């Protein structure tokens, strides 16, 4: 079939092959944001419910770890002590919220990524997809390394009580438990640094010259 002369040399308009590259209106962006926020809120609530039932087991497990490493020192007594009548309930509430957030954090990140992804170019999205599995691996490696260090750290901190003979250590229940959980989270996030540097380099926000400079 012959092609009309008027169409020869005419370039077809470039149509995005990815539907997500079509631009959305401001109202559509707000609707999408509201949907993602509602989903994240529901995820956190569901995680909190799960954390509420898992909290007693997690507390006993971590509290026994603390007692084992603190009571290794015979120079002082160690007792758990609440200072307010509301402390037991607040401890259970805070710990269940923290556990719930940890449980649903990956799904919350997926919701945030689903909102941000359409605004990125294919070249910017590709590195994120490649490093995601390594991010999970590094997070667990960081948490595992912290778990190996925590007992020695607790034992080392408690060793300073030996310089004060005759004293009694009254520890708020949950204080060391939260310390352990925060350290696990901090180490897990800290092990993400190589991937952060890699991603910043891929999208052009960080150059080798900048790294050498600082």
At residue 131's C-alpha, the angle toward residues 134 and 101, to 5°, is 70
Distance CA 89, CA 82 (A): 11
Q: Is 77 helix (H, G, I), strand (E, B) or coil?
A: strand
Q: Is 174 helix (H, G, I), strand (E, B) or coil?
A: coil
Which residues lie below 8 Å from residue 125, measured CB to CB, with a gap of 6+? 117
Tens of pLDDT, residues 116-132: 887 777 777 777 777 88
Tens of pLDDT, residues 59-112: 999 999 888 888 766 667 888 888 889 999 999 999 999 999 989 988 988 888
Q: Is 169 helix (H, G, I), strand (E, B) or coil?
A: strand
Tens of pLDDT, residues 152-174: 998 898 888 888 877 888 888 88
- What count of other Cβ atoms lies within 10 Å of the Cβ of residue 60? 11
């Amino acid at each position: 079939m012959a092609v009309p002369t008027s169409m020869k040399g005419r370039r077809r308009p470039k149509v995005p092959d990815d539907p997500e590259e079509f631009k959305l209106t401001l109202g559509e962006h707000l609707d999408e944001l509201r949907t993602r926020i509602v989903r994240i809120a529901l995820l956190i609530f569901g995680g909190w419910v799960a954390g509420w039932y898992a909290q007693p087991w997690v507390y006993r497990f971590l509290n026994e770890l603390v007692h084992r490493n603190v009571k290794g020192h015979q120079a002082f007594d160690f007792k758990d002590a609440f200072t307010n009548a509301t402390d037991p309930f607040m401890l259970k509430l805070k710990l269940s919220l923290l556990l719930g957030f940890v449980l649903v954090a990956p799904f919350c990140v997926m919701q945030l990524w689903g909102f941000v992804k359409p605004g990125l170019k294919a070249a910017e999205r590709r590195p994120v997809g490649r490093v995601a599995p390594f991010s999970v691996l590094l997070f667990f490696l960081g948490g595992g390394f912290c778990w190996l260090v925590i007992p020695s750290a607790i034992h080392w901190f408690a060793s300073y009580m030996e310089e004060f003979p005759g004293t009694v250590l009254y520890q708020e229940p949950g204080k060391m438990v939260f310390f352990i959980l925060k350290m696990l989270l901090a180490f897990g996030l800290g092990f993400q640094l190589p991937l952060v540097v890699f991603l910043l380099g891929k999208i052009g926000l960080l150059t080798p010259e900048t790294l050498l400079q600082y």
